[in-house]
Chains A and B, each alone.
Chain A
Amino acid sequence: MEVIAMCRERTLELKLRGELDHHGACGLLTKLEREIESALPSELVMDFRGVTFMDSAGIAVALRGWQRMRELGGSVVLRGVSAQARKVLETAGVGRMMTIE
């Protein structure tokens, strides 16, 4: 899957494109951590509009982002989440930890 990172005024935005499964998520956690480390943002926005499918691999990605942002005292927003992906995230109660739009 493809990731485009953009940082503006301490908001790090990661645009995700493709299928977020075990195959697609390969290398994504490392990339996520590297972007957070170099931007040290106060807000992380993960844009899911380009994600055409997501399974439990996406839960691990969202939780990792949340963990790192909590260490930095920041917050996480998941934007453009489809009904299918939202249902997956909700089985893990992800909506209680971050904003799902």
Chain B
Amino acid sequence: MQRTENYMVMEFLSRSSNESFARTAVATFAAQLDPTLDEIGDIKTAVSEAVTNSIVHGYPNTLGKIVVKVRILEKNTLEISVRDWGCGIENIDKAREPMFTTGGEERSGMGFTIMESFTDRMRVKSSVGRGTTVVMQKRIAPRMR
């Protein structure tokens, strides 16, 4: 168990207009780790994918609660968890495969692949009818000044 140096929690309704808000808020909180522009881009993209999944797939025909928790752990590590109480994922391994989607034609099936490659570590917990939690960790390398 790593020590938590700082954290923030936010809760919002699964409206698509909150996608932009959520990724910007997480990036702003992460700014205290002095990330590079590339690292900020990675964080925003990964958060955008996770939050969009909760909005689009977790709550397909309804509005529900999404909670995003961000922790700063030892060794400059950022941990982001995105949780919904929506429909859940039946087969997580299948869902994580590149190009796999149960969505319409405006989905690419690349969300999990992006979350995985833009962070250092990604875990998915889900149960059908109960919801989904995605936890991502990213180490922000300290910079020389």
Contacts and interface: CB of A to CB of B under 8 A. Distances in A.
Interface in A31-58: 53, 55-57
Determine the main DSSP class of A at the interface with B: helix
B134 to A, nearest CB: 14
Interface string B107-145: 110110110011000000000000000000000000000
A22 B52 CA distance: 7
Interface string B74-111: 00000000000000000000000011000001111011
Given A57-B108, A59-B108, A91-B110, 17 more contacts: A21-B20, A21-B52, A22-B16, A22-B52, A23-B16, A29-B105, A53-B20, A53-B23, A56-B107, A56-B114, A57-B52, A57-B106, A64-B105, A84-B45, A87-B41, A87-B42, A92-B110
Interface of B: 16-17, 19-20, 23, 38, 41-42, 44-45, 48-49, 52, 55-56, 98-99, 105-108, 110-111, 113-114, 117-118
